[in-house]
Structure formats: C-alpha cells, structure tokens
C-alpha cells in the first residue's frame, strides 16, 4: 500500500471519528503534506525505513488552537499502536494552524504581503512539500492552498 493511501485511511478510519466524537465543533482541515516520499507518491519499501507511517497534519483554525493539547492527549490515549500492520507514532501527526505551519516552513507571516525577494529565498523543495500531498478534509486548508498566498509574482519566474 502506498503511503498516501495509508495516511488517507488513517485519517478516515481513526482521526476523523476521534475528532467528530470528541471535538464536534472544532473547525479543522486534515492533510498529508510535508517531507516524505509518500507525499508525492514516490515511496517504496526502502523508503519505509524512516519517517514513514500513518500520519496526518491537522490544521486547526486559530480560535480552536487551544484544543491542540487535548487533541494530542486523545491521540496518545486512543490511537492504536498499529494500523494496517504498520506501527503508529502519534508524534508524526502534526497539530498546527495554517499560519503556524507556513511560519515553521518558510519563516514568513502569511497574513502579511510577500515581496518578490521573499519568493527567491524559499527552497523549491519546501514549496513542493507544502503544496503537494493531499487534503483529506476541510475547506479551510483548501482555501489557503488555492488562494493567492502561494502564487509567486510573475517577475520571480523570469
């Protein structure tokens, strides 16, 4: 099974029910993003030897950020040790917000305009990691990903 499919099932079968049952009013998105060959569908048996396994990024909206600790504690208590035969490390599931995630990846505040020079400092691999993968749930993240936030100015391409 490819990692992107494993992570999709992990979200649908484990994370989504936990969120619905325990945090029904929380507004969030869920996705598989970040580093890892499985994000782009390039994973093989060999790439499973490190940082590979069932995981998800949970993007809370800022008003729900205070729930992050409770969600983490719930995952530690209730997520199974294995999923489809693969070990689960709940620390690989990231709980964040879109602005915090972008700040950690690119060291910018997405609520402020970006200058062309900013785009020239972003590693192309990092841009791929934050725009590749799959959104499992939530329009919140999809809106951020499809918005002008990730559109580099025309002059950057020349």
| Domain presence at residue 156 | no
| Domain presence at residue 91 | yes
| Domain presence at residue 29 | yes
pLDDT in tens, 99-124: 999 899 999 988 888 888 888 899 98
Provide the CATH number for the domain around residue 121: 3.30.460
Contact status, residue 103 vs residue 62, Cβ threshold 8 Å = no
Number of structural domains in the chain: 1
Tokens, residue 132: 């590749």
Domain span at 120:
3-147
pLDDT grade for 141, boundaries at 50, 70 and 90 = low
Please, where are the H alpha helices in the chain?
A: 3-10, 16-22, 68-78, 98-106, 116-121, 124-131, 139-146
Higher pLDDT, 142 or 122: 122
pLDDT at residue 148, as a whole number: 41
pLDDT in tens, 26-76: 989 999 988 888 888 888 777 776 678 899 999 999 899 999 999 999 999
| Domain presence at residue 152 | no
pLDDT grade for 80, boundaries at 50, 70 and 90 = very high
State phi, psi for 95 to the nearest 5 degrees. Answer: -115, 120
pLDDT at residue 37, as a whole number: 82
């Amino acid at each position: 099974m490819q990692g992107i499919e494993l992570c999709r099932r992990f979200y649908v079968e484990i994370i989504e029910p936990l969120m619905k049952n325990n945090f029904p009013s929380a507004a969030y998105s869920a996705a598989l993003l970040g580093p890892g060959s499985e994000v782009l569908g390039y994973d093989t048996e060999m790439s499973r030897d490190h940082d590979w396994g069932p995981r998800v990024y949970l993007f809370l909206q800022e008003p729900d950020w205070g729930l992050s600790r409770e969600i983490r504690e719930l995952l530690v208590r209730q997520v199974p040790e294995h999923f489809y035969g693969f070990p689960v490390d709940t620390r690989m599931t990231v709980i964040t917000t879109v602005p915090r995630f972008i700040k950690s990846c690119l060291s910018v505040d997405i609520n402020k305009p970006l200058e062309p020079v900013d785009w020239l400092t972003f590693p192309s691999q990092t841009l791929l990691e934050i725009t590749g993968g799959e959104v499992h749930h939530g329009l919140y993240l999809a809106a951020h990903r499809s918005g002008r936030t990730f559109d580099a100015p025309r002059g950057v391409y020349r």
